[in-house]
């Protein structure tokens, strides 16, 4: 149960912010968690949704590799909602159960292809060490170009913010219960 109630009706918002529901429905298909809770700050919901729409749906980084980076962020933050939702999207984009297991259990990446390992390694380095190794960043630029490097870095930052919102506001669905193993 989220720490704040969901806002499920535009009439619960100030009149000048009610168009948020139309915007979210247009970009996301409907108003649902986490945005139904984040809507307590309509402008925050609008702005993060706008950036998220670009990063998730319009990035030059191939969808699978964005999703692997997002799963890695979800795991590094122990954010079960984020990991659950994006593991499903990663599977749809072609991720194997092996790669998702490696992320979930924080296993070494040496059995993965370099294409699979690279976005996970980059996310782990940024989140664990607060910087990326030159060789990792250079590989990101070589693989995705300068714009892709900026976009993948922004994906990692954006989903770090989302994981903080999800964890801080205790936003998760019953389906995500137990999706991440308890690790030391």
Q: What is the pLDDT of residues 69-112, one digit of tens each?
A: 999 999 999 999 999 999 999 999 999 999 999 999 999 999 99
Residue 5 CA to its chain's centroid (Å) = 22
> Is CATH 1.20.1290.10 the classification given to domain 63-176?
yes
* Model pLDDT, residue 33: 87
Quote the CA–CA distance of 66 and 90 in Å, as a whole number: 9
CB 67 within 8 A of CB 89: yes
Q: How many other C-beta atoms lie within 10 A of the C-beta of residue 66?
A: 27
Please tell me the pTM assigned to this model: 0.93
CA distances from 142 to 63, 136, 183 (A): 17, 10, 34
* Model pLDDT, residue 114: 97
* Model pLDDT, residue 184: 52
Domain boundaries, the chain: 10-57, 63-176
Side-chain-facing half-sphere of 29: CA atoms under 13 Å: 2
* Model pLDDT, residue 135: 98
Low-confidence ranges of the chain (pLDDT < 50): none
């Amino acid at each position: 149960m989220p720490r704040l109630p969901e806002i499920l009706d535009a009439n619960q918002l100030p009149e000048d912010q009610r168009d948020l529901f139309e915007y979210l429905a247009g970009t996301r298909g409907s108003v649902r968690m986490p945005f139904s809770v984040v809507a307590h700050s309509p402008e925050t919901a609008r702005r993060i949704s706008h950036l998220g729409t670009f990063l998730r749906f319009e990035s030059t980084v191939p969808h699978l590799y964005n999703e692997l980076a997002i799963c890695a962020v979800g795991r590094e933050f122990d954010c079960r909602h984020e990991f659950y939702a994006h593991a499903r999207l990663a599977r749809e984009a072609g991720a194997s159960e092996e790669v998702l297991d490696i992320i979930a259990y924080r296993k070494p990446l040496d059995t993965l292809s370099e294409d699979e390992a690279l976005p996970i390694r980059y996310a782990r380095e940024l989140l664990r060490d607060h910087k990326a190794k030159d060789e990792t960043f250079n590989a990101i630029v070589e693989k995705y170009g300068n714009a892709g490097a900026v976009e993948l870095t922004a994906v990692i930052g954006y989903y770090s913010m989302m994981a903080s919102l999800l964890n801080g506001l205790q936003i998760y669905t019953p389906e995500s219960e137990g999706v991440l193993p308890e690790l030391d």
